[in-house]
């Protein structure tokens, strides 16, 4: 979010704006939305009502796999249509959602909230290489999970692609009693934790609130409770736990806890190997794979013990200025208290796992009173946990869009940007990648414009790489041929009537987080519409700006997930 000029922020302790006053009115949200936000009880008097409503909208979009119509959001949340419109307009301004007609879609930039939690946690960065290596060695899926109250939430997935394979996503929440990690975490539960688990089971006997798992086919009874208690006792004694088709028939898993360094040795995460009964039974998981899983967990624990904490990275800058400027431009359609509240989550990150109120205010540029009310709201919603004078993000932050967005691909990220670019330059645009052979390009996304005479390229079309602008951009990153030196130095390729008479094309690179070119963005047009010079002066700046927008979303999405290039 770029910084823009704005008036000075209100002084600390100033009165809340009309947007900020009071918790939501009774009945302002549906029971489902209240359950998703954790607002079943009354909100604190200082809670920020628009922030609670905005979180409800984000969670409903998440539960709907990333897309809902505006009217669907109105029904799901129970909020007035005008309120839904203002919330989604604000989220769109932040880059967290986008509109497609009357539908609202989650955008990859929203993943910066989950990224803040995962980077503050450090576990994915330290442990995921070990999980990935184990998955490659065993040719089975390996996951990492953390405790989220009486459930477990995934923070990493190394998935094997098979006809019968694991479909869970980073951020998915599962009931503890139906998983292998659950009994290991439950071994550390307090009496209050066990009571919360029993209350939840009574209120939701079929696990309908856990949308990542199939609903139960029967209502649990006392025997089911006793079974989970017994599994917890066994897991505590054995140091490992099994899931023998508890979630669905055929799915089996074995789990081992990864303990934090220090005298208490509490469970930081749980590593699991997940398979199908066509390959392993619960018994063979234990006899054949448990020793290798334990060895990997030992390596993970050494990693936690021996890796020094990182230096704090730079916090986000000028966010308070940006939200104020947006309010000036959009007026009452922009809910400043919602935008400011969401920026509080981005104050946390690598080297900043716990922050005081003063540090949050300093990192975001918000008035201390504004930051305090946002933290009070997040504590009520279960997104932030206090610890003395400091606050930390909880795994529940991943419920804000991360599961559906964690499976996004580069073509899906690029598509709305291609559509925007095409509407501005009035030429068709495409995204292309290099084939496995390195000799051809394949088009993976495209946005077309209506013209009598247009370039006939469709998604899936392959062309010789050396004769196309996107091909030369891609080849220039991997080959030292002299003919590609100018492409590397100038940052674009222009091909003038080489592939076909009358066809002119210009392309720019799309780079991953390491700087490697993984795709090319291009536009192709008939030579009669623009000269080569006009392609450079008129089209190149638009292509470059769009490539940067795609890269920003790509890098955000790929920080803790694998984003396929095609």
Q: How far is CA 386 from CA 191, 196, 379, 380, 420, in A?
A: 20, 19, 7, 11, 43
User: What pLDDT sits at residue 347?
Assistant: 94
Burial of 389 (0-12, 13-18, 19+ CB in 10 A): exposed
Q: Using an 8 Å Cβ cutoff, are 166 and 408 in contact?
A: no
> What average pLDDT does range 92-109 have in this prediction?
96
Distance between CA atoms of 85 and 169, rounded to whole angstroms? 29
CATH number of 410-557: 3.30.450.40
pTM: 0.91
Q: Answer yes or no: is pLDDT of 452 > 50.
A: no
Tell me which CATH homologous superfamily contains domain 123-306: GAF domain (3.30.450.40)
Distance between CA atoms of 223 and 266, rounded to whole angstroms? 29
pLDDT tens track for 514-554 = 999 999 999 999 888 999 999 999 999 999 999 999 999 99
Give the DSSP letter string of 146-215: EEETTEEEEEEEE----SS-----TT-EEEGGGSSHHHHHHTT--HHHHHHHHHHHHH-TT-TT-TTSPP
Q: Answer yes or no: is pLDDT of 78 > 90.
A: yes
- The percent of residues in the chain predicted with pLDDT above 70, rounded, is 89
User: What pLDDT sits at residue 10?
Assistant: 35
Who wins on pLDDT, 475 or 17?
475
> What average pLDDT does range 30-42 have in this prediction?
64
Q: Quick check: helix, strand or coil at residue 242?
A: strand
pLDDT tens track for 381-418 = 999 999 999 999 999 999 999 999 999 999 999 999 99
Q: Do domains 31-109+316-405 and 410-557 have the same CATH topology?
A: no
Q: Using only C-alpha atoms, what is the Rg of the chain? A: 26
Helix (H) or strand (E) holding 527: none
CATH number of 31-109+316-405: 1.10.10.10
Residue 480's pLDDT band, with cuts at 50, 70 and 90, is confident
pLDDT tens track for 168-181 = 899 999 999 999 99
Q: How many helices (H) and strands (E) does the chain have?
A: 21, 18
Domain residue spans in the chain? 31-109+316-405, 123-306, 410-557
User: What pLDDT sits at residue 317?
Assistant: 64
> What average pLDDT does range 316-325 have in this prediction?
75
């Amino acid at each position: 979010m770029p910084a823009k000029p704005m008036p000075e922020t209100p002084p600390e302790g100033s009165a809340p704006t009309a947007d900020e006053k009071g918790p939501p009115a009774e009945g302002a949200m549906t029971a489902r939305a209240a359950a998703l936000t954790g607002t079943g009880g009354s909100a604190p008097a200082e809670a920020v009502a628009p922030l609670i409503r905005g979180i409800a909208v984000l969670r409903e979009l998440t539960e709907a796999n990333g897309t809902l119509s505006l009217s669907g959001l109105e029904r799901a949340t129970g909020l007035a249509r005008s309120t839904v419109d203002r919330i989604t307009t604000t989220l769109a301004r932040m880059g967290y959602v986008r509109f497609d007609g009357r539908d609202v879609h989650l955008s990859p930039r929203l993943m910066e909230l989950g990224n803040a939690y995962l980077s503050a946690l450090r576990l994915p960065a330290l442990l995921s290489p070990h999980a990935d290596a184990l998955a490659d060695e065993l040719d089975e899926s390996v996951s990492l999970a953390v405790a989220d109250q009486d459930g477990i939430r995934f923070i990493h997935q190394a998935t094997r692609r098979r006809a019968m394979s694991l479909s869970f996503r980073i951020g998915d929440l599962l009931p503890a009693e139906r998983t292998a990690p659950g009994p290991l975490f439950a071994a550390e539960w307090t009496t209050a934790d066990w009571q919360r688990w029993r209350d939840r089971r009574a209120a939701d006997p079929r696990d309908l609130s856990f949308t990542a798992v199939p609903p139960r086919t029967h209502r649990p009874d006392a025997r089911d409770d006793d079974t989970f208690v017994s599994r917890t006792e066994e897991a505590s004694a054995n140091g490992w736990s099994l899931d023998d088709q508890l979630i669905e028939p055929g799915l089996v898993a074995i789990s081992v806890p990864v303990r934090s360094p220090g005298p208490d040795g509490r469970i930081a995460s749980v590593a699991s190997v997940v398979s199908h009964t066509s390959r392993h039974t619960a018994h063979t998981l234990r006899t054949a794979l448990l020793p290798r899983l334990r060895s990997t967990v030992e390596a993970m624990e050494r990693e936690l013990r021996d890796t020094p904490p990182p230096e704090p990275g730079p916090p986000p800058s000028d966010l308070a200025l940006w939200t104020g400027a947006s309010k000036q431009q959009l007026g009452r359609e922009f809910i400043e208290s919602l935008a400011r509240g969401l920026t509080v989550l981005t104050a946390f990150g690598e080297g900043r796992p716990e922050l005081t109120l003063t540090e949050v205010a300093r990192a975001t540029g918000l008035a201390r009173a504004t930051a305090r009310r946002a933290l009070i709201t997040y504590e009520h919603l279960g997104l932030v946990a206090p610890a003395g004078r400091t606050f930390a993000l909880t795994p529940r932050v991943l419920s804000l869009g991360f599961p559906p967005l964690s499976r996004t691909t580069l073509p899906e990220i690029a598509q709305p940007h291609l559509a925007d670019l095409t509407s501005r330059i009035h030429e068709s645009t495409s995204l292309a990648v290099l084939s496995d052979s390195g000799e051809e390009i394949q088009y993976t996304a495209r946005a077309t414009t209506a013209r009598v005479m247009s370039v006939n390229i469709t998604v899936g079309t392959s062309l010789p790489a050396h004769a196309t602008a996107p091909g030369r951009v891609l080849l220039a990153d991997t080959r030292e041929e002299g003919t590609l030196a100018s492409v590397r130095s100038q940052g674009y390729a222009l091909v003038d009537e080489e592939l076909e008479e009358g066809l002119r094309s210009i392309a720019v690179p799309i780079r991953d987080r390491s700087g490697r070119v993984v795709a090319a963005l291009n536009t192709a047009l008939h030579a009669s519409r623009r000269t080569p010079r006009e392609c450079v002066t008129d089209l190149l700046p638009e292509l470059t700006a769009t490539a940067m927008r795609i890269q920003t979303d790509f890098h955000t999405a790929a920080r803790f997930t694998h984003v396929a290039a095609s």
